[in-house]
């Protein structure tokens, strides 16, 4: 088994890198919030022309999907809630600055919980807006001094493009990967511990002795699950502490909420572990099935790579994995400092996964113990 995993791991990693980071990779249909705060309205508003130019250019490239919002706070709230991946804020003095010969402010807001995608979006948007500024300046020189459109001795940059995040400071790859590692460690601890706790004892016969004791079967099963969960939670906390101490990860959100999400992630997956051990008679078989399921799950759930940069079919598969929602919620709490409301969808889905899988697992376990 170890040899097979050793061979498959580099092959799988090479395939993932080739898919996720193709040589001509680019963005398409990225959800972007657009807030026009320009004080000028009507025909005198140059920001309206800016937005129209941006939308016309986007219609040719299909790079973004714009959603208009009313304020800068709405931009940040939508990014925190996962509705948008970035935001564009047009400054309140956009028109007046351009009319008085000053640069007009345009702010790009990044999703710091996803530094790879944020960097790509920032680069693409900055280039687009700067190109728009160059075209605007060239056209202005042509109208004023009759300079040919394809030739100019000097050009100005009418737009001052700034970038910012939801929280202060700069994020790095460690802050992206640390929540995923925490979720993965807890999941792997649970999924690899259950085969030994149940299938092994069933194989050697000690589980039959436990079931013959005057204790409810669910109590025995619950004790084993709690033991494996405790071990996994301790490992997850160690990963969190090491991330903070060694790699400078800054936890913006609540530690209690992080622990709650980890427990909810365990609840969403424990049913799958019990279900597999119920249908297998040996520890080796249960472990092989567990590894077959959990190994691809690590890469498809966004632990190491952003899901948004995966091929479409992988993104579809990721939506059916509980670990996807656990890691997404952890990342938002750790990096963006969001509360329960912002991750309510992830919490609801994890709870749903847990109820369905655990119900099926308990029925399967009861039937297996009667054989």
In-domain check, residue 15: no
Of 164, 196, 218, the last residue of a domain is 164
Look up the pTM and report it: 0.73
In-domain check, residue 232: yes
| Phi/psi of residue 152, nearest 5 degrees | -155, 135
In-domain check, residue 136: yes
Is the domain of 90 the same as that of 193?
Answer: no
Is the domain of 106 the same as that of 229?
Answer: no
Residue 84, SS3 per DSSP: coil
Is the domain of 210 the same as that of 231?
Answer: yes
The CA-atom distances, in angstroms, between 238 and each of 185, 232, 264, 268 are 10, 10, 18, 22
Q: Which residues contact 182 (CB under 8 A, 6 or more apart)?
A: 236, 239, 240, 243, 258, 262, 330
Of 105, 132, 164, the last residue of a domain is 164
Query: What total number of domains does the chain contain?
Result: 2
Is the domain of 155 the same as that of 241?
Answer: no
Of 164, 191, 207, the last residue of a domain is 164
Structural domain of 152: 23-164
How distant is the alpha carbon of residue 283 from its chain centre? Answer: 34
In-domain check, residue 1: no
H or E segment and range at residue 133: helix 115-145
In-domain check, residue 14: no
Tens place of pLDDT for every residue, the chain, 371 residues?
433 443 344 444 444 444 444 434 455 678 889 999 998 877 678 888 888 888 888 887 777 888 889 898 899 888 888 788 889 999 989 888 888 878 888 998 888 777 766 777 777 777 778 777 776 666 665 565 555 545 444 456 788 888 888 777 666 677 888 888 888 888 877 777 777 666 666 665 566 555 566 666 667 667 777 877 788 888 888 888 888 888 888 888 899 999 999 988 888 888 888 788 777 777 778 778 888 888 888 888 888 878 877 888 888 898 998 889 999 999 989 888 888 988 999 999 999 988 888 888 778 777 766 65
Instruction: Please tell me the distance from the alpha carbon of residue 201 to that of residue 224, in angstroms, as a whole number.
Output: 11
Pairing between β-strand 86-90 and β-strand 104-110 as defined by DSSP bridges: antiparallel
Is the domain of 137 the same as that of 209?
Answer: no
């Amino acid at each position: 088994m170890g040899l097979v995993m050793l061979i498959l791991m580099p092959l799988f990693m090479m395939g993932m890198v080739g898919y996720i980071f193709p040589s001509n990779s680019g963005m398409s249909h990225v959800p972007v919030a657009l807030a026009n705060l320009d004080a000028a309205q009507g025909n005198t508003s140059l920001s309206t022309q800016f937005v129209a130019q941006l939308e016309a250019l986007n219609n040719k490239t299909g790079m973004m999907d714009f959603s208009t919002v009313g304020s800068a706070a709405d931009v940040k709230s939508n990014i925190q809630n996962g509705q948008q991946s970035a935001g564009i804020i047009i400054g309140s003095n956009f028109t007046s600055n351009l009319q008085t010969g000053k640069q007009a402010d345009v702010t790009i807001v990044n999703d710091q919980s996803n530094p790879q995608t944020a960097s790509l979006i920032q680069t693409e948007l900055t280039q687009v807006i700067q190109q728009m500024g160059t075209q605007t300046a060239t056209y202005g020189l042509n109208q004023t001094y009759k300079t040919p459109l394809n030739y100019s001795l000097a050009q100005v940059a009418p737009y001052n493009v700034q970038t910012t995040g939801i929280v202060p400071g700069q994020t790095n790859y460690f802050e992206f990967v640390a929540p995923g590692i925490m979720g993965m460690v807890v999941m792997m601890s649970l999924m690899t511990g259950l085969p030994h706790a149940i299938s092994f004892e069933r194989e050697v016969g000690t589980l039959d002795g436990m079931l013959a004791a005057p204790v409810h079967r669910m109590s025995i099963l619950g004790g084993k699950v709690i033991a494996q969960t405790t071990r996994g939670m301790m490992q997850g906390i160690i990963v969190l502490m090491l991330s903070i101490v060694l790699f400078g990860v800054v936890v913006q959100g609540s530690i209690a909420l992080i622990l709650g999400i980890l427990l909810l992630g365990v609840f969403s997956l424990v049913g799958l572990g019990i279900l597999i051990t119920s249908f297998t008679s040996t520890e080796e078989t249960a472990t092989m099935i567990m590894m077959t399921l959990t190994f691809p799950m690590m890469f498809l759930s966004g632990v190491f790579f952003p899901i948004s940069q995966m091929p479409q079919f992988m993104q579809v598969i990721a939506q059916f994995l509980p670990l996807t929602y656990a890691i997404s919620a952890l990342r938002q709490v750790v990096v963006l400092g969001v509360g329960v409301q912002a991750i309510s969808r992830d919490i609801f889905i994890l709870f749903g996964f847990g109820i369905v899988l655990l119900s099926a697992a308990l029925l399967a376990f009861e039937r297996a113990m009667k054989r």
